[in-house]
Amino acid sequence: MSLSKIKSRRKLRHYGALFYLGLFLAFQLPLASAQSVTRGYGSDQVLQRGMIVGVTKSSADKVEAIDVNHISQILGVVVSSNDAPITVSSDNQHIFVATSGRYDVLVSDQQGAINNSDYITLSSLSGVGMKANENQPSILGRAASSFDGKTNVLSTTVLNDTKGAKITVHISRIPVEISVTRNPLARKSDNTPAFLGQAGRAIAGKSVSAIRLYLSALIFLAGTIIAGSIMYAGIRGSIISIGRNPLSKQSIFRSLFGVALTGFIVFLISAIGVYLILKL
């Protein structure tokens, strides 16, 4: 075999090796970029693995356990230092927080049993999540497992619900695909007047959708107008009748009482309808 052929084959092998190396890197680089990176933070609290935390107001380098009242501050979940392939920290930052990837998270059944793929948000317990519904604007991620409140229970606690009744809440730790984002279940901004929303919450004891608010307002307005029209027509007719025939005053007053009662019943029915629409 000539020297030129040997050199040609060596070049082919060299280029072949580069080709396969390129293919390897092409497949591995996206995987590497998808790997989660945990960052180290300081904390003035004792935080457990799986707690949901947010950055403190006093320092951007410190985190604290947060509850649903601080849902806009969701940062991520406390993890062990060796849970993620890449960790960034300094000597005084010993709390490691993951903001993406699959990690174990402390959750509760405050909002009911959690099923696989349910959205997870913050609960009333600091650092603990729950199943999200339309009332929370943000989520931590999606459950990669389920929790029925009966199996794998780590602890229990007692909370007061919106009506003041005591409820027992069970806590567990399940894997969650972490991706802090807006809650897809959350109601879209409906631009309802503030006074209307406040009135709805005062009557129902909870947030009410825009459709119910406007429907209730329409029913109440219609009932008030109808009742007012009946009262006005009755009073006006009674005054005219008394002017024409003063001797029939007693019978006219009885008729006026009946008209007033009818108007009141119409108004009462509209008020009850508003209450039922908002409450149910």
* Main-chain phi, psi angles of 92, to 5 degrees: -95, 15
Question: Domain 37-182's class?
Answer: mainly beta
Among 88-97, 127-136, 158-167, 207-216, name the one with the lowest average pLDDT: 88-97
Across the range 223-230, mean pLDDT stands at 90
Across the range 28-43, mean pLDDT stands at 63
% of the chain surpassing 70 pLDDT: 79
Among 41-45, 183-187, 213-217, name the one with the lowest average pLDDT: 183-187
Q: Are 148 and 174 in contact (CB under 8 A)?
A: no
Across the range 125-133, mean pLDDT stands at 95
- pLDDT grade, residue 175 (50/70/90)? very high
- pLDDT number for residue 226: 92
Residue with tokens 């951007």: 60
- pLDDT number for residue 23: 46
- pLDDT number for residue 85: 62
What residue spans define the domains of the chain? Answer: 37-182, 194-279
Higher pLDDT pick, 85 / 154: 154
Across the range 157-178, mean pLDDT stands at 89
Q: For residue 151, what are the contacts with CB-CB under 8 A and spacing of at least 6? A: none
Strands ordered across the beta sheet of 86-88? 63-65, 52-55, 74-79, 95-98, 37-41, 86-88
Question: Is the pLDDT score of 94 beyond 90?
Answer: no
Q: For residue 65, what are the contacts with CB-CB under 8 A and spacing of at least 6? A: 45, 47, 51, 52, 53, 126, 127
- pLDDT number for residue 27: 42
Question: Half-sphere exposure of residue 241, counting CA atoms within 13 Å on the CB side?
Answer: 16
Q: For residue 68, what are the contacts with CB-CB under 8 A and spacing of at least 6? A: 121, 122, 123, 124, 136
Please report, to the nearest 10 degrees, the dihedral formed by the alpha carbons of residues 129, 152, 145, 109 taken in order.
-40
Which contacts of 145-150 are long-range, i.e. CB under 8 A and separated by 24 or more positions? Answer: 145/116, 145/174, 145/175, 146/113, 146/114, 146/115, 146/116, 146/174, 147/107, 147/109, 147/113, 147/114, 147/172, 147/174, 148/109, 148/113, 148/114, 149/109, 149/113
- pLDDT grade, residue 253 (50/70/90)? confident
**Maximum average pLDDT range among 28-37, 119-128, 187-196, 258-267:** 119-128
% of the chain surpassing 90 pLDDT: 41
Average pLDDT of the chain is 81
- pLDDT grade, residue 121 (50/70/90)? very high
- pLDDT grade, residue 33 (50/70/90)? very low
CA of 232: how far to CAs of 7, 226, 236, in Å? 110, 10, 6
Coil vs helix vs strand at 170: strand
- pLDDT number for residue 24: 45
- pLDDT number for residue 87: 57
Residue with tokens 């707690």: 51
β-pair type (95-98, 37-41): antiparallel
Question: Could you read off the pLDDT of 155-165 as tens digits, one per residue?
Answer: 999 988 767 78
- pLDDT number for residue 168: 93
Q: For residue 104, what are the contacts with CB-CB under 8 A and spacing of at least 6? A: 49, 50, 77, 173, 174, 175, 176
Q: Are 72 and 137 in contact (CB under 8 A)?
A: yes
Sign of CA dihedral 87, 88, 91, 94: negative
Residue with tokens 């609960």: 123
The closest of 226, 189, 176 to 74, measured between CA atoms, is 176
* Main-chain phi, psi angles of 51, to 5 degrees: -75, 140
Q: Are 177 and 102 in contact (CB under 8 A)?
A: yes
Q: For residues 277 and 280, what is the distance between their CA atoms, to the nearest angstrom?
A: 6
